[in-house]
Amino acid sequence: MAKRILVVEDNDLNRKLFCDVLRNQGFAVEPVADGNEVLDAARRFVPNLIIMDIQLPGVSGLELIEAAKVDKVLRAIPVLAVTAYAGKGDEERIRDAGADGYLAKPVSIGPFMTAVRELV
């Protein structure tokens, strides 16, 4: 059975790219564009990994990671944070929120797939 990945990304092109690459590698993928739907989608889809954009309209990816990590159903699911924020201290702040992995945008496919495989 294919590993399941929830892709949280508000940018249409990035979301499509991530989903296409993951599907091509044999993963079952559920895309989510709206941060307000993430936790419900994760509970429904029960992914093996959540790929989380940090900068989402209306809600912060950091808040969503923190909420997932205190949820009894979601807390064990690893989270790979993908963000345009790559300033000093950002990775530490994102990992402190509960992210298991961190990639700065723009993302290259090789490092992206390496990070995904390490977490699923």
Q: What is the CATH number of the domain that holds 98?
A: 3.40.50.2300
The stretch 35-52 carries a mean pLDDT of 97
What is the average pLDDT score of the chain? 95
pLDDT of residue 58: 87
Separation between Cα atoms, residue 18 and residue 31, nearest integer Å: 9
What is the domain range of residue 25? 4-119
Q: Evaluate if residue 28 carries a pLDDT over 80.
A: yes
CB 8 within 8 A of CB 52: yes
pLDDT of residue 1: 82
The stretch 21-33 carries a mean pLDDT of 98
Total tally of structural domains belonging to the chain: 1
Q: Evaluate if residue 89 carries a pLDDT over 90.
A: no
pLDDT of residue 108: 93
What lies within 8 Å, CB to CB, of 98 at 6+ separation is: 65, 66, 68, 69, 79
Sign, CA torsion 56/57/60/63:
negative
Q: Evaluate if residue 76 carries a pLDDT over 90.
A: yes
